[in-house]
Structure 1
C-alpha cells in the first residue's frame, strides 16, 4: 500500500504538533515536569491558548503522546543496536542494547526523565498505560536477552527462588506469550539485568556522577561486561 502525500494543511499541522512536543521537553528541561502546560507552550510559540487546544485537548493528552513518542524512540534505538549482532551471540546483543541505551539517554535526557524519572504532577496515566506497545517491546526485548543466555545463566540461578505469583499478572502474561518455556527465575533475572543497565545511567543523567569520575562510559562498560560474565557468557572483545 502506497502512503499518500500529505496535503499542505496536514503537513503544517504535523510540523506544529512536533514543535509543541519539542517545546514541552524544553520547558521540562528548564523547570521540571511541572513546567509543562499548554498555556506556557502557547506563549512560547506565539499562539493563543485556544489554538493550541486544537492540537491537544488537555495537557494529559500531550504528556501521553510525549511518553509514547519518547519510549518508542528509545526501544527503536536499542532494538536496532541489538539486531546488529546475530541471534547466536547473546553477549554481543546484550552489550549492544546496553550501550545504545546509555547513548540514547545522554542524547535525550529530558525524554529519559519523562519515562524513568520525574512524575508529572497531576498527570493521570490512561488505562493500559501511556505507551503500551513500547513497554511491551522493552519488556520482551530485555527478557529476550536473558532467554538467549538462559542455558548458561540458569546454572547460577536458585531453582526455587521465584514463582509466577511473585510478578505482576500483566508482566507474566506478556512473558509467557513471548517465551512459553521460560521459568519465573528468568523473569527475575531480566529485572536484575534491567536494574544494572539502568542504575549507572540514571546516576549519570541526574548528575550524581559528575563530581566523582571523569569517564562514566568506561565505568558503565565495565559494569555491563561484569553483568555479561555473571550470566556465564564470555564478554565480547
Structure 2
C-alpha cells in the first residue's frame, strides 16, 4: 500500500469513529450480568493438556482472563447503551483504550446532560464479554486507534496492500516463545510497543544486543479471527497462544 493509500485508510477509520460519535442520540441502561474489574488484571490462565477438538468456550475464556476493556456505566453500575440516529440500533461499546471510552462518555453526556450524574468509565474483563449477547443490542469491541495504525504499517511492510483493518489487532513475533511445564506457547500482544519492549528486555537478559526487528518478524492478526479459529478448527494455528494484557513486559515475569 502506498503512502497515499495508507493515509486514506487512516482517514477512513477516523471518519468512522467520528460518525459513530456524531450519530449518538440517546443512552439507556442495561443491567450488568457480570462484575466489573476491581483490581489489577491477573495473568491469563493457560489450560493444561492436549486437545484434538476445537477449544471450548471455557478454555477460550481462560486465555482471555485478565484482559481489560472499558465500558460506560451509570450510577447504578448498569451499562449505558447508545443508539444511532440513522440505524436505531442499540450499541454496547467496549473500548480497549480508556481514553477512548472517556471521550465517548463525554460525547454522550454532551448529548444528554442528565446522563452526566454518576456516569463513569469502568473496566470489564474481556473473557466475560467476547460473546455477550442481549436481544436488540449489538456489542462492539473498539480497538485502540494507534494499534490499528501499527497493524496497517506492519501489513504494509509484509507486502499486503490493504485499505483498512477489520477487527482488533493482535501482534506476535516468531522470535518470542513462552514455556510453561515443558510446553511452548506464543504470546499475543494487544499493543505492538509491548511486544517490542519484551523482545528488547529478553535480549538484554541474555546479554545480547537488542535484536533488530526483521521485516516480517512481527505478524498481525485480528482478535476476532483468532477466536473464531479457536472455536471452530480442531487443527487451529492458534491453539498454543496466550493473550498478554496491555502494558505487560513478559520478560519481567519469571513464570
Q: Which has the larger radius of gyration?
A: 1
Q: Name the one with the larger strand percent.
A: 2
* Greater relative contact order structure (CA < 8 Å, 6+ sep): 2
TM-score normalized by structure 2? 0.24
TM-score normalised over the length of structure 1 = 0.25
Q: Structure 1 or 2: larger helix share?
A: 1
